Structure 1
Amino acid sequence: MGYQRGLSLLDGWLPWTVQALVAIAFLVVLVPLLWSRRRVRGRWLRLGAVVVLGVAGAFAALGVFSGSGLASDPAPVLLWVWVGITVGAVVAVVVAWGPAPWWRRGLSVLVVPLSVVCVAVVANQWVGYVTTVQEGWSELDAGPLPDQVDAAALPSMIGHPRSTGAVVQVSIPADASGFAHRDEDVWLPPAWFAAGPRPVLPAIMMIGGEFNTPGDWIRVGNAVGTADAYAAAHGGTAPVLVFADAGGTFNNDTECVDGPRGNAAAHLTRDVVPYVEHSFGVSSDPRAWGVVGWSMGGTCAVDLAVMHPELFDSFDDIAGDAGPEVGTKQQTIDRLYGGDAAAWAANDPATVLAGHAPYADTAGRFDDSSDTGGGFGGRPGGARPGGRPPGSFHPPGGYGNGANSGIGGRGGGGANGQELPAARQLCAQARTRAIACTVVTQPGRHSWQFATTAFQLVLPWMADRVEHPGVAASAA
């Protein structure tokens, strides 16, 4: 696809060449520890310090990661290898400094940041966040998004036919929520620019993963390319896409709830929706609004739909969790809700569904991987220490469940053995409340490439739903 053209950072020669060169440089740094003229005991002590501390650093990082609640999908072993090499490289700067010539000393210092680069390369291969060098440069350079235009130019564009839509960046006031957030993006289909009265179009809110920017669905998930293709096949008509900021900052995992990390839910429902309706003339009929989310955003999508049927009539949960989670149940209550267990229950979709009357017209879809997953540390099905057993699902009242919060596009999310059974059980419960629901599977890992394909598959169904309010609810 066009957005993936360029020098690949996920496969091919580049990521492996970088790692091979850095590994060779690290070995060169270690040469004085192997063949130093100093006494044997001294050089083996120095080499042992590099190895032991490097291995200890790798296991320490693994332990912190395992207990953090960031992911239940196991990271590749190579990631921890490079973490260990990075720690070992830092130690080598100290212990190899004396017996090495100046150029090897310089190399020992250089290997440290290069090892960090290798950690980033492997992590990126795991999660599929930046697919090409060109895409990564665009992220760093903050270049324009595909189809991006200046919001001030919109009035002059009305009445001029377009073959593609247009992306505008907007600063949405947070008067209702007080949520500190970044600028957000709105994609307008070609039909929005038609001459004459402005059409009243439907809208789909797009929510990314945990470590995110509002533009991730555009830059990485190719959502604009997908929407442009859909509009081209439907006479320029398509839903308006709203790329919302659910985090406020890159590393703020709100899970789209209100709490100590910010009033993210209030921002999405009370700031973003009214602003888009007023500023772009989209429909205020909840049947004309859908929400699509990936990883953490998938959890947000189903949660928003079951909690706010007055705003969203359709949802697609792509590889989300069973509910907002940032560790165990108690950790989630403490971190997301400031210790308020009632707030946890009020935002848990299973609990909400259990106490809700039948929904009038809501329909939803869960997109999950059909892959079985290899498990964490050899544990079948992705089970982790302290984590929810594969296929388990907390009842409406809840109980202690595991670290299944997901990194939302930067990796993580529930392991395949956990996400799919949870989706099936949540979908089954939704059907008992008259929500038309289906679970769709496809091969793939918890990566942005999986999310991209899922959105390509779901857009026709959701567009048909929101473009024809009043049609009987049906699942994809």
Structure 2
Amino acid sequence: MGLTSGKVLALAVVAAVGLFVGTVWLWPRLARRGWRNVGGRIGLLLSTQLMLFAAVGLVANQAFGFYASWADLFGQETEQGVVVDHTPTGGPLEVVDTRRVPGVAGARPHRGGQIQKIGIVGRTTHIATPAYVYLPPEYFQPQYRTRTFPAAVVLTGYPGTAKALVDKLDYPRTAARLAGDGRMQPMILVMMRPTVAPPRDTECVDIPGGPQTETFFAKDLIDAVSGHYRVGRKPGSWGIIGDSTGGYCALKLAMHHPRVYAAGAGLSAYYKAPTDPTTGDLFHGDEELRNRANLWWYLKHMPAPDTSLLVSSSKVGESNYKGTLKFIERVKATKLTRISSIILESGGHNFNTWRREIPGTLEWMSGRLSGR
């Protein structure tokens, strides 16, 4: 049974309740002195608490999509091998599965769109990673057969799962609803983790002697998707969205590569790459690389990028609120980079907050991209 299985959660809850009842029932019998009785009481208390923590952890994981499998939880990845399609019209992208868009009426793609699970291998970076692609209904309709579409990369936080962008944050269903209501244009969404070298958190940095994550997102990913799908190739065709770590990556990639990403949206983003046990040594003493990864430094010392940025926070519940207001003022001072924001009255660093921000973010992104 998988980590996200409802059966696993049900068993954990039943076990926690059973241990609690057993503790209450057996406690009088273990109330006497003696090492066996003391050990029994300690064992019951520890077992009950551990099972309770396990049940709460499983509930939190299902709600927020931190880990997709037991292998993911324990740092072992099961999707390292990706088949590369070398056909003349293909490229380093392989479609491994297709499915309907959850919550959207219409079983056929030209009615409800389609989600494709893909594997990508970067031509220059050799980074291999899975992703999900949302194709809107118009992509399959005859009258649009010669049309190219704008596309947006959508990134999770760390560690995150790409599947959570589909099933938990509802990006495809939200995009379909907004397009159906005429509030945004049909767009292709490429949904994935920024963690392309798991379990390491690379913060979308080209690490000296390590994964070239920034190059992967700025070049290899664009080339692979554009070679397989009808995506606009001119500047202004691509945007990037992310939450938390993915939000930092989205802002940084749009600022560093404005001719690739015409717009970048950072939901609950931070503005400087952290250094901790999950990242390891990202810069290896390269001060220029460290500075470029610091968005504050970049705005102050580098030419203002010709791109559009969106940031989000909340007055109560987000630790980045003051920093986000400061970042907005710093960007406004450049006169060239455009900045927009979503500021909620309250909302924590979680899926519920981001679901409230995603519709406005997709509308904003749609208004800044063109598929031609």
Name the TM-score, length of structure 2 as normaliser.
0.76
Q: Which residue is equivalent to 1:210?
A: 158
Q: What secondary structure does 1:274 align onto?
A: helix
1:314 aligned onto 2:314: no
C-alpha distance in structure 2 between counterparts of 1:216 and 1:161, whole Å: 21
Q: What is the CA RMSD across the aligned residues, in angstroms?
A: 4.0
Q: Which residue is equivalent to 1:347?
A: 293
C-alpha distance in structure 1 between counterparts of 2:99 and 2:64, whole Å: 17
Choose from 120, 124, 147 the match for 2:57. Answer: 120
Choose from 64, 74, 94 the match for 1:129. Answer: 64
Q: Which residue is equivalent to 2:140?
A: 193
Name whichever structure is richer in helix by fraction. Answer: 1
Q: Which residue is equivalent to 2:223?
A: 274
Does the 8 Å contact 1:164/1:190 carry over to 2? yes
Does the 8 Å contact 1:129/1:448 carry over to 2? yes
Q: CA deviation at 1:336?
A: 2.0
- Indicate the percent of aligned positions where both proteins have the same amino acid: 20
C-alpha distance in structure 1 between counterparts of 2:28 and 2:281, whole Å: 47
Q: Which residue is equivalent to 1:69?
A: none
C-alpha distance in structure 2 between counterparts of 1:229 and 1:431, whole Å: 32
Q: CA deviation at 1:286?
A: 2.9
Choose from 359, 367, 372 the match for 1:464. Answer: 367
Q: Which residue is equivalent to 2:85?
A: none
Report how many aligned residue pairs link the two structures: 335
Matches within 5 A, 1:40-439: 42=35, 46=39, 50=42, 89=46, 111=48, 114-121=51-58, 123-124=60-61, 128-129=63-64, 147=100, 162-179=110-127, 181-195=128-142, 197-234=145-182, 237-248=185-196, 251-259=199-207, 262-327=211-276, 335-360=281-306, 362-371=307-316, 373=317, 416=318, 418-433=319-334, 434-439=336-341
Does the 8 Å contact 2:98/2:114 carry over to 1? no
C-alpha distance in structure 2 between counterparts of 1:332 and 1:432, whole Å: 34
Q: What secondary structure does 1:429 align onto?
A: helix
Amino acid at match of 2:304: P
1:440 aligned onto 2:338: no
Distance 1:163 1:47, change over 3 A: same
C-alpha distance in structure 2 between counterparts of 1:333 and 1:244, whole Å: 19
Q: What secondary structure does 2:129 align onto?
A: coil
Q: What secondary structure does 1:449 align onto?
A: helix
C-alpha distance in structure 1 between counterparts of 2:368 and 2:328, whole Å: 18
Amino acid at match of 1:466: L
C-alpha distance in structure 2 between counterparts of 1:122 and 1:188, whole Å: 31
C-alpha distance in structure 2 between counterparts of 1:448 and 1:121, whole Å: 16
Does the 8 Å contact 1:212/1:251 carry over to 2? no
Does the 8 Å contact 1:169/1:185 carry over to 2? yes
Q: What secondary structure does 2:320 align onto?
A: helix
Amino acid at match of 1:290: G
Does the 8 Å contact 1:366/1:423 carry over to 2? yes
C-alpha distance in structure 1 between counterparts of 2:23 and 2:271, whole Å: 43
**1:49-76 residue CA offsets vs partner (Å, 9 max, x unmatched):** x49xxxxxxxxxxxxxxxxxxxxxxxxx
C-alpha distance in structure 1 between counterparts of 2:11 and 2:321, whole Å: 34
Does the 8 Å contact 1:252/1:261 carry over to 2? no
Does the 8 Å contact 2:308/2:337 carry over to 1? yes
C-alpha distance in structure 2 between counterparts of 1:195 and 1:338, whole Å: 52
Does the 8 Å contact 2:201/2:279 carry over to 1? no
Name the TM-score, length of structure 1 as normaliser.
0.61
Amino acid at match of 1:193: F
Task: Please say which of residues 243-252 and 199-208 is displaced more in the overlay.
Answer: 243-252
C-alpha distance in structure 2 between counterparts of 1:235 and 1:452, whole Å: 17
C-alpha distance in structure 1 between counterparts of 2:327 and 2:183, whole Å: 36
Q: CA deviation at 1:468?
A: 8.1
C-alpha distance in structure 2 between counterparts of 1:368 and 1:145, whole Å: 34
Structure 1's unaligned 5+ residue stretches are 1-6, 52-84, 90-107, 150-156, 374-415, 470-476
Who wins on radius of gyration, i.e. which is larger? 1
Amino acid at match of 2:364: W
Name whichever structure is richer in strand by fraction. Answer: 2
Q: What secondary structure does 2:169 align onto?
A: coil
Does the 8 Å contact 1:189/1:236 carry over to 2? no
Q: Which residue is equivalent to 1:455?
A: 358
Q: What secondary structure does 2:122 align onto?
A: coil
Amino acid at match of 1:192: Y
Q: What secondary structure does 1:281 align onto?
A: coil
C-alpha distance in structure 1 between counterparts of 2:333 and 2:246, whole Å: 24
C-alpha distance in structure 1 between counterparts of 2:109 and 2:196, whole Å: 35
Q: Using CA pairs under 8 Å that are at least 6 residues apart, name the structure with larger relative contact order, 1 or 2.
A: 1
Q: CA deviation at 1:178?
A: 2.2
Does the 8 Å contact 2:250/2:264 carry over to 1? yes
Distance 1:338 1:357, change over 3 A: closer
Q: Which residue is equivalent to 1:36?
A: 32
Distance 1:122 1:187, change over 3 A: closer
C-alpha distance in structure 1 between counterparts of 2:184 and 2:360, whole Å: 19
C-alpha distance in structure 1 between counterparts of 2:16 and 2:330, whole Å: 47
**1:316-350 residue CA offsets vs partner (Å, 9 max, x unmatched):** 110011222144xxx79952223433321121111
